[in-house]
Amino acid sequence: MTEGADLRDTTPWDIQDDTLHEECGVFGVIGAADAAAICALGLHALQHRGQEAAGITSYDGSEFYSRRGLGHVAENFATGEQLAELPGHMAAGHVRYSTTGGSGLRNIQPLYADLASGGFAIAHNGNISNAAALRETLVRNGAIFQSTSDTEVIIHFVATSRFPKLLDRFIDALRYLEGAYSLVCMTVEGMIACRDPLGIRPLVMGKIGDAVVFASETVAFDVVGAEFIREIQPGELVRVDFAGNIESLRPFGDPAPRPCIFEHVYFSRPDSIFDGRAVYDVRKQIGVQLALESPADADVVVPVPDSGVPAAIGFSQQSGIPFELGIIRSHYVGRTFIQPSDSARHSGVKRKHNANRLIVEGKKIVLIDDSIVRGTTSLKIVQMMRDAGAKEVHFRVASPPTGYGCYYGVDTPERSKLLAGRMDLEAMRDFIQADSLAFVSIDGLYRAVGQEARNNARPQYCDACFTGDYPTSLTDLARRESDAAQLTFPDAA
Ligand code: AMP
């Protein structure tokens, strides 16, 4: 493979402290003359899913080419020269986000390996919740890992599977995995896209002329001018060859799907369609539910931009309280959440948001945001409203309390770092210093996606971050917890 990457140097802690938690976006195209350029454009539309690194691998029928680099898509794939490094009619790409220390260059995807069957490139959105256990077994058996990414275990299983055909080897590899994976892979036979049996992370399929495209979100299709065909079904594997033949397989039977409800709450772009519903509309409906469940006596509804905007519109329309932009956002600062240290995150909130005094001064306001995670943003914003002269600040949150960590690829921290993991409602209100605080109920959230309530016996979504009801085993977490318990009680019988 030819590697034309912008491999800017990395610091030692990058390499040592890689974590496995990632949020990502994937894109793939097969059958287009300018595959890499389409891929770059698609990734650009998925930039909100990962801002630390980006990579594209292409295939021209005889060789694979790869370019990967830290930073945004536009920094790595903007010029004709950069894209000229990626010839061929097939390309797959990835945008990556990682938490503190997880930005080692060797983890930037697509990952690539030369297998007995030929080149194999893989781009992964999600998190494999037994990756550490699998890796340990593989290493014990002699596997040599190039990255600390959970995705690499898939390559090793494909490489060592006893099945003669590549597709069978790939399916064989997937059987070992637990957790969330939406994958776009390239082989010398064509492209494979698949979604884990529960469909936790999204993946959609479209067409541009005769070319077939795959992406994490439909917004990428809008941007590249592709027609949205359908979602890849949970547990479905789609194979496309170079003649344009499309084959759909269901190697895992038909388990009840559990797509991630947090895609609707925060993660997906509002102009995407996820699980058959427009994300924008779901967010507005959550605002409607909030207004019904937890009304507030206020003069204006103010969204925390941009995350709270659609829900605030819904709240305003339902309550009749006017919607106003009481906070203005700078568009030159990325998501505050991704800053690696707490102090950087604090200053990030200030650089990102500023009070619009004209709207706020002397008013009773209802502030709306999509979620409270650590509480950093809400505390600062409530303070900002008071400093700008707000008479009362009522905080309404367009999701239930985020009380549990996510182990499926959304970087929600572990329970001990979550405000709702540590405090009850009154303590949270006191912490963020709001006059009142309310979250939409879990049933209200399900009403916003068109259900009557959460079906507790058979929930339609993965909502583990709100309920603690994890739809798969969490092998690595269980092992970490048991190791920690042994460390805490070394003398226990
Ligand atoms: P915090 O300040 O830690 O309470 O984070 C809450 C803010 O982060 C909200 O404004 C959300 O829009 C945003 N947010 C929530 N979840 C995530 C996530 N997984 N990644 C990035 N940002 C998030």
Domains and CATH numbers, the chain: 19-258 (3.60.20.10), 278-467 (3.40.50.2020)
* H-only helix segments in 144-211: 152-160, 166-174
Which of 24, 39, 194, 260 is flagged as catalytic? 24
Predicted pLDDT at 298: 98
Looking at residue 413, its pLDDT comes to: 86
Which segments in the chain show pLDDT lower than 50? 6-21, 99-101, 490-493
- Determine contact, residues 65/76, Cβ cutoff 8 Å: no
For residue 491 the two structure tokens come to 């003398």
d(CA 370, ligand 1 centre) in Å: 8
Q: Which atom of ligand 1 is nearest to the CA of 376?
A: 2
Q: Which of 7, 46, 419, 430 is nearest to 216 (CA)?
A: 46
For residue 224, the 8-state DSSP code is H
Q: Note the pLDDT of residue 204.
A: 98
- Are 369 and 380 in contact, with CB atoms under 8 Å apart? no
How far is the C-alpha of 55 from the C-alpha of 278, rounded, in Å?
28
* pLDDT of 485: 77
pLDDT, one tens digit per residue, over 433-487 is 999 999 999 999 999 999 999 999 999 999 999 999 999 999 999 999 888 877 6
**Which of 337, 397, 411, 466 has most ligand 1 atoms within 8 Å of its beta carbon, as the pocket-test mutant?**
337
pLDDT of residue 106: 87
Cβ 360 vs Cβ 302: under 8 Å:
yes
7-40: burial string, b at 16+ Cβ within 10 Å, e else: eeeeeeebeeebebbbbbbbbbbbbbebbbbbbb
How remote is the CA of residue 75 from the centroid of ligand 1, in Å? 25
Per-residue model confidence (pLDDT) at position 483: 85
Ligand 1 close to Cβ of residue 353 (< 6 A)? no
Q: Measure 455 CA to ligand 1 centroid, in angstroms.
A: 27
374 lines ligand 1 (CB under 6 A): yes
Predicted TM-score (pTM) of this structure = 0.92
Q: Does the beta carbon of 178 lie inside 6 Å of ligand 1?
A: no
Whether 311 lines ligand 1, by a CB cut-off of 6 Å, is no
| Residue 4 beta carbon below 6 angstroms from any ligand 1 atom | no
Q: Are strands 204-208 and 327-329 parallel, antiparallel or unpaired?
A: unpaired
Nearest in space to 451 (alpha carbons), one of 295, 285, 294, 314: 285
Q: Which helix (H) or strand (E) holds 272?
A: none
Ligand 1 atom nearest to 345, measured from its CA = 2
Ligand 1 atom nearest to CA at 372: 4
98 lines ligand 1 (CB under 6 A): no
Task: Give the position, in ligand 1's atom list, of the atom nearest the Cα of 374.
Answer: 3
Is residue 410 in contact with ligand 1, taking CB distance under 6 Å?
yes
Q: How far is the CA of 58 from the centre of ligand 1 (A)?
A: 34
Q: Look at ligand 1, atom 3, and give the residue with the nearest C-alpha.
A: 374
369 Cα nearest atom in ligand 1: 10
Write the residue with the smallest CA distance to atom 9 of ligand 1.
Answer: 371
Which of the listed residues 329, 373, 404 should we mutate to test ligand 1's pocket, taking the one with most ligand atoms within 8 A of CB? 373
Atom of ligand 1 nearest to the CA of 307: 12
How many angstroms is it from 77 CA to the middle of ligand 1? Answer: 28
CA 47 to chain CA centroid, Å, is 11
pLDDT for position 17: 34
Give the model's pLDDT for residue 347.
60
d(CA 403, CA 468): 8
User: Is the shortest distance between the CB of 22 and ligand 1 below 6 Å?
Assistant: no
What pLDDT sits at residue 12? 29
The β-bridge relationship of strands 118-125 and 300-303 is unpaired
**Does the C-beta of 371 come closer than 6 Å to ligand 1?**
yes
Residue nearest atom 8 in ligand 1 by C-alpha distance:
337
- The distance between the two most distant Cα atoms of the chain, rounded to a whole number of Å, is 73
Known catalytic residue: 24? Answer: yes
Q: How far is the CA of 154 from the centre of ligand 1 (A)?
A: 30
Q: Ligand 1: does its nearest atom lie under 6 Å from the Cβ of 339?
A: no
Ligand 1 centre and the CA of 182: distance in Å?
22
E strand segments, 270-340: 273-274, 277-278, 300-303, 327-329
| CB of 375 shorter than 6 A to ligand 1 | yes
pLDDT at 126: 95
Q: Give the residue, by CA position, lying nearest to ligand 1 atom 22.
A: 337
